[in-house]
């Protein structure tokens, strides 16, 4: 994909005829792909989301076991395009594999950034130690360290410098997401995916 005009900028591009049978996604019942599917149902609503997934199916998008499998299919030249996570792509880049990253940035969608979660359980036996760990993980130094590692975690802090192939959060075209409402969509989205998409 050397011609910039052929590089898709939106998820809907995967439903176009020129991408028939040439793209892969991870099975959208687990992990970040399930979360992404629920996000689409929250953002677009049931009718539009169902139309999208049915269009993917009609366009023969390949359903892979997971994000790493999608990455490997693209890296090995089996397919020109796949939806996966930044940590998978960064690992391929570090290994010198012939891949690149496209961040969706169109009128219809931006890049979905799924946060890692950190919590202190109510009634935990050592809450002070838990708070110290949380404070440590959220320091600029720790976020920059996690960014430099193979998983290329995107720092939340605006003062953190992104040293990896993954841009800083402030430099990404990020989707605005209500995670509580996305969580509310998980069960019904999974039912649709299982019964009508897979």
Q: What is the pLDDT of residues 127-170, one digit of tens each?
A: 999 999 999 999 999 999 999 999 999 988 888 888 878 888 88
144 contact partners, CB below 8 Å, separation of at least 6: 155, 160, 161, 162, 163
Please state, for a pLDDT cut of 90, what percent of the chain lies above it: 75
State the average pLDDT over residues 165-187: 91
Q: Please give the pLDDT value at position 117.
A: 84
Mean pLDDT over the full length of the chain: 92
> Is the pLDDT higher at 168 or at 16?
16
> Is the pLDDT higher at 182 or at 115?
182
Domains of the chain, CATH where assigned: 1-113+177-198 (3.40.190.10), 114-171 (no CATH)
State the average pLDDT over residues 60-73: 96
Give pLDDT tens digits for 17-32: 999 999 999 999 999 9
Instruction: Check residue 183 and give left, alpha or beta (phi > 0: left; psi -120 to 50: alpha).
Output: alpha
Q: Please give the pLDDT value at position 102.
A: 87
CA 156/CA 58 separation, integer angstroms? 38
Which residue pairs, CB below 8 angstroms and at least 24 apart, start in 16-21? 16/59, 17/59, 19/59, 19/81, 20/59, 20/60, 21/59, 21/60, 21/62
182 has pLDDT over 80 = yes
- pTM score, whole prediction: 0.88
Q: Please give the pLDDT value at position 3.
A: 76
CA 195/CA 197 separation, integer angstroms? 6
4 has pLDDT over 80 = no
């Amino acid at each position: 994909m050397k011609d910039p005009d052929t590089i898709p900028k939106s998820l809907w591009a995967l439903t176009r005829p020129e991408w028939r049978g040439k793209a892969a996604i991870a099975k959208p019942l687990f992990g970040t792909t399930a979360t992404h599917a629920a996000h689409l149902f929250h953002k677009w609503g049931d009718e539009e989301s169902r139309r999208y997934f049915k269009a993917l199916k009609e366009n023969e998008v390949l359903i892979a076991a997971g994000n790493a499998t999608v990455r490997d299919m693209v890296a090995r030249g089996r397919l020109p395009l796949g939806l996966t996570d930044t940590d998978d792509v960064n690992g391929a880049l570090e290994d010198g594999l012939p891949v690149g990253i496209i961040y969706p940035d169109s009128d219809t969608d931006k890049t979905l950034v799924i946060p890692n979660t950190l919590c202190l359980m109510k009634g935990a036996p050592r809450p002070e130690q838990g708070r110290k760990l949380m404070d440590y993980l959220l320091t600029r130094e720790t976020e920059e360290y996690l960014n430099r590692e193979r998983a290329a975690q995107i720092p939340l802090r605006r003062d953190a410098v992104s040293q990896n192939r993954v841009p800083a959060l402030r430099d990404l075209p990020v989707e605005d997401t209500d995670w509580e409402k996305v969580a509310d969509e998980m069960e019904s989205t999974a039912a649709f995916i299982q019964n009508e998409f897979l």
